[in-house]
Amino acid sequence: MGTNRRLRDLLLLAAALVLSASTSSAADFQYCNKGRHYPVKVSGVEIVPDPVVRGQPATFKISASTDKSIVKGKLVVDVTYFIFHVHSETHDFCSGTPCPASGEFVLASEQTLPSFTPPGSYSLQMKLLGENNEELTCISFGFSIGFIAPVAII
């Protein structure tokens, strides 16, 4: 009886580890202009969950750093599906990140995509503009929207 319980506990732990590993991932990103030296350096992009699930919240976390002090700015996000521009939005930088921002910081944006959003591969471009609309950084990365919603394991 004790062996069966131990085996069951190990299987549950393994399942939990597999599920947690598949719910977020670090995305590869590229700077929009590879030859440009942006004042804000991006060190990573995390997407939770990955793939994104239609009708459920998805969080995009961008880890960055700068030696400037950013007191005001805006985040401009553009999303494309294949070659089609499908979404654009602008956020006040200081509403999602404590200002003034300097050193290391994280930009986080949470979105809930409508349930009718087509599954597949998308591209997101994010620009951070300073108080005088100067481009502080610009990156792009891909993300996927799953074909089916995950089923809870009980």
Amino acid at site 70: I
Instruction: Return the structure tokens found at 14.
Output: 């393994």
- Per-residue model confidence as pLDDT tens digits over 124-144: 999 999 989 999 999 999 999
pLDDT, the chain, mean: 81
CA–CA distance, 112 with 122 (Å, rounded to integer): 15
Amino acid found at 3 = T
pLDDT in tens, 78-104: 999 988 998 899 999 998 888 999 999
